Amino acid sequence: MFSVLGSWYRRKFSDPNALMLLMLILFSTLTLYFIGGILMPVIVAIVIAYLLDVPVTKLEKVGAGRPLASAFVIIVFFFLSFIAAVSLIPVISTQSVNFVKEIPLIWGSAQEWIMSLPEKYPNTIELSYIENMLVGINDKLVDFGESVISFSVSSIGNLAVIVIYIILVPLMVFFMLSDKQIFLRSISEILPKERRLISQVGEEMNTQIANYIRGKVIEIIIVGSVSVVAFSLLDLRFALLLGVLVGFSVLIPYIGAAVVTIPVAIVALFQFGLSTHFGWVITVYLIIQALDGNLLVPLLFSEAVSLHPLYIIVAVLLFGGLWGFWGVFFAIPLATLVKALFTAWSPPEAEQKQEPAAS
């Protein structure tokens, strides 16, 4: 057993470059796992800097200085973000409160329909089974409501954290953009000399993550905006709230679309019943999802490394469980990183052919 493990270790990590890459990955993973919450403002700043690096670089090529271009792009970005927040958040909050108030009515109608099933199908469904099921669901809903209320109360204490984000994150983004080359040189000096594989994986992932972040933000804006317009034209209630949910559902591939389908279908069913209008809402929603998956995603992520859907779902579950929202957001780049690591640690085909011949 130990000889097999020793042979595997020598085959994979006899090269100092491979060993340095492994140590860097372990150090980074442990750092994010144990103090990722403390470093979250830094991570948010890095994400925003990735988004804004392209316009800053273009302004720099035109002739503007790097600090001036960084300041201008940051001011425009946060001004537009502020305008969007001021115009959207009040409406979304109002629709969210109204939707929560109507949940008892929706659930009451659903209970009446469920209780009518034993009368329609007396030989198939028993009344006692339905009653026990509804009691269990009501208990779960009560627990969920209490957890939502406790979360809302506890979130009031996070106002100080929000203020810190508002002050620190723009400042860090400015320094990351204006002094980009200084930070890159500093990181290069810290890394070990045996960094051929680190540089190889780093260059590949730098392009992948930058393209992914920009593409995902564009996808959220397009899908969310189209959904809001479509739901409004169909006169669906809570159109803005549901459209925003559909937009953010693209963060979680496959799973997000399936989960958001539930509130869209429930609101449409409660508003229109089993009518032609309900069918139009579901049809338009499915068309949006189909266009997103088959047209928009290939256009935005054409340079991304293709991954099997099973790997993507496993990555979402794994990294989302480790790092929450940001783990879900970076699930595909992290899965691509894992794939790049396996490729970097795999011996060349020539060595693989020589090993059986030598044995």
25, two tokens: 């990955």
Give the count of beta carbons closer than 10 Å to the beta carbon of residue 250: 21
Residue percentage of the chain with pLDDT more than 70: 79
More confident residue, 323 or 81: 81
> How far is Cα of residue 258 from the mean position of the Cα atoms in its chain?
15
Predicted confidence at residue 194, as pLDDT, reads 65
pTM of the model: 0.68
pLDDT tier at 72, thresholds 50, 70, 90: very high
What is the spatial distance between Cα 207 and Cα 77, in angstroms, rounded to a whole number?
A: 22
* 305 Ramachandran zone, left/alpha/beta (phi>0; psi -120 to 50): beta
User: How much is the mean pLDDT over the chain?
Assistant: 77
Residue carrying the six token digits 């002739």: 63
Give the count of beta carbons closer than 10 Å to the beta carbon of residue 340: 18
- Looking at residue 301, its amino acid is F
DSSP state of 305: P
Distant-in-sequence, close-in-space partners of 333: CB < 8 Å, separation ≥ 6:
205, 208, 209, 212
Among 59-73, 196-210, 251-265, which stretch is predicted with the lowest mean pLDDT? 196-210
Give the count of beta carbons closer than 10 Å to the beta carbon of residue 93: 11
318 pLDDT higher than 60:
yes
Residue carrying the six token digits 């890459």: 21
More confident residue, 284 or 5: 284
Q: Which helix (DSSP H) or strand (DSSP E) does residue 339 occupy?
A: helix 331-345
Predicted confidence at residue 271, as pLDDT, reads 86
Predicted confidence at residue 349, as pLDDT, reads 47
pLDDT tier at 350, thresholds 50, 70, 90: very low
pLDDT tier at 359, thresholds 50, 70, 90: very low
pLDDT tier at 272, thresholds 50, 70, 90: confident
194-231 pLDDT, tens digit per residue, is 667 777 777 767 767 777 777 888 889 999 999 999 99
Q: Are 280 and 234 in contact (CB under 8 A)?
A: yes
Which of 358, 321, 345, 356 is CA-nearest to residue 14? 345
Among 1-10, 38-47, 117-126, which stretch is predicted with the lowest mean pLDDT? 1-10
- Looking at residue 346, its amino acid is S
Q: What are the b/e assignments for 193-225, b being 16+ CB within 10 Å?
A: eebebbeebbebbeebbbbbbbbbeebbebbbe
- Give me the residue spans of the domains in the chain: 37-194, 195-359
For residues 39-63, give the mean pLDDT. 85
pLDDT tier at 345, thresholds 50, 70, 90: low
What is the spatial distance between Cα 78 and Cα 10, in angstroms, rounded to a whole number?
A: 51
